[in-house]
Amino acid sequence: MLSLQLIRDKKDFVAERLSVKNFDATGLLNEIIDLDKIRRNTQSELDNVLAEANRISKSIGQLYKSGEADKAEAAKSRSVELKEQSKLLSAKLTETATLLNKKIVELPNIPHESVPRGNSDQDNETVFEEGKLPNLPDDALPHWELAAKYKIIDFDLGSKVTGAGFPFYRGQGARLQRALINFFLDEAIAAGYLEYQPPLLINEDSGFGTGQLPDKEGQMYFVNEDNLYLIPTAEVPITNIYRDVILKESDFPIKNVAYSNCFRREAGSYGKDVRGLNRLHQFDKVEIVQIEHPDNSYDTLETMKEHVANLLRKLELPFRILRLCGGDLSFTSALTFDFETYSGAQKRWLEVSSVSNFESYQANRMKLRFKDKNGKTRLAHTLNGSALALPRIVASLLENNQTPQGIKIPKALQRYTGFDMIK
């Protein structure tokens, strides 16, 4: 969430910046300013009432001790009056504060100044492209047909046992999954990230902290019996490690990596976008998360981008990097770069990673702070990125590397798969 201070000081600036996300905030901002005024006035009134009540309560004890019971009784009745007042004021305060908070949370993060205006993925800016696009014969197969041909991924079996979007990986397919996970984890560890294995279910507070709740609960699976959500990404448990934490400046940089299954309901998706591995309800992902000093977060974002780019180079996949436009930027992000690999048989670019700086937006929601050199408590910055999401990587690998003899495994991966060809 945005800080109230920023909204108070620079309302017009906030409105202008949010318009880049095609978000008209003017009405909401005015409501927030008004509620804030009411809240502060109410707080002051309540404080005064409580201050008097405290004084009186203390005096009552004294009065009884010194035998002035009649005075004590008088003080008591005044105290009862004050209590009535404080009840009313405190109810008003809670109500106002709750509403205020609800409104602030409705504001998305303000985009970084480099974010281009735009409405959809059509307006994203390609900032980098590398690698040669594969030159496949006309009869090249899309990955779902390759998966069937080599019996390495079984979508129908998944439908039978669970439902659409929950495939089985089999034989060399299963081994390839395991290889990619280990490869990604090893690369991250070599780059200085600390490995975590997070819980796959999270509570409501965690969902709120990273911004999935309250608005996007429809995207998560919910376990009603225990009031827990299945994680849509390891970002949620890993970032929430630092919820309600005050770090020391010397704790930076915090670099964590986690492999996890990810669960997404993906309600409303259809068509070619969901064919095969393109969009699943359960998939595997290695996620990197960093907590940073505000001064360094954009340098860190560059470093994370470079890490992801190197993974794709080692996998010998052609890729490009997009700077997301305002309209395509997520609610919580200030700046996001998407990585896409080219999938030769489908002849389309597939998003395989998303690297974002959330600045203090998540940190403010989850009260993730640090003490700076002057002893002042400030909000930290959070960042994360996929490094990488498996399914579309597998799709690209299968399609681009298909040969009449089988599917070639990139060199960097062979020591993890134990084979150089799927046949």
Partner RNA sequence: GGAGAGUUGGCAGAGUGGUCGAAUGCGGUGGUCUUGAAAACCAUUGACCCUUCACGGGGUCCGGGGGUUCGAAUCCCUCACUCUCCGCCA
* Binding site residues, RNA, CB under 7 A: 39-40, 43-44, 46-48, 50-51, 53-58, 60-61, 64-65, 76, 79-80, 83, 94, 246, 369, 371, 377
CB of 79 to RNA, least distance (A): 3
Nearer to RNA, 98 or 114 (CB): 98
Closest CB 175 distance from RNA, rounded Å? 22
DSSP-derived 3-state class of residue 152: coil
- Give the C-alpha separation, 307 to 69, whole Å: 76
Please classify residue 251 by burial: count the beta carbons closer than 10 Å to its beta carbon, then call 0-12 exposed, 13-18 middle and 19+ buried.
Answer: middle
Q: How far is the CB of 84 from RNA (least distance, A)?
A: 10
For RNA, the closer of residues 153 and 202 by Cβ is: 202
CB of 259 to RNA, least distance (A): 18
**DSSP helix, strand, coil percent of the chain (3-state; round to 5):** 50, 20, 30
For RNA, the closer CB: 96 or 346: 96
CB of 64 to RNA, least distance (A): 6
132: left (phi over 0), alpha (psi -120 to 50) or beta: beta
Q: Which residues pair with 321 in a beta bridge?
A: 128, 339
Residue 69 or 157 with smaller CB distance to RNA: 69
Closer by beta carbon to RNA, 26 or else 54: 54
141 or 246, CB closer to RNA?
246
Decide whether 63 or 409 has the Cβ nearer to RNA: 63
**Strand pairing category for 153-154 and 168-169:** antiparallel
Residues in the chain, how many? 423
Instruction: Match 């890993």 to its residue by tokens.
Output: 238
Burial 49-74 (b: 16+ CB within 10 A, else e): bbebbeebeeebeebeeeeeeeebee
Min dist CB 359 to RNA, Å, is 18
CB of 93 vs RNA, minimal distance in Å: 9
Distances (CA, A) of 248 to 240, 304, 391: 17, 22, 38
List C-alpha distances in Å: 77 to 47, 53, 66, 74, 83: 20, 11, 19, 5, 10
Rounded Cα distance between 199 and 204, Å, is 14
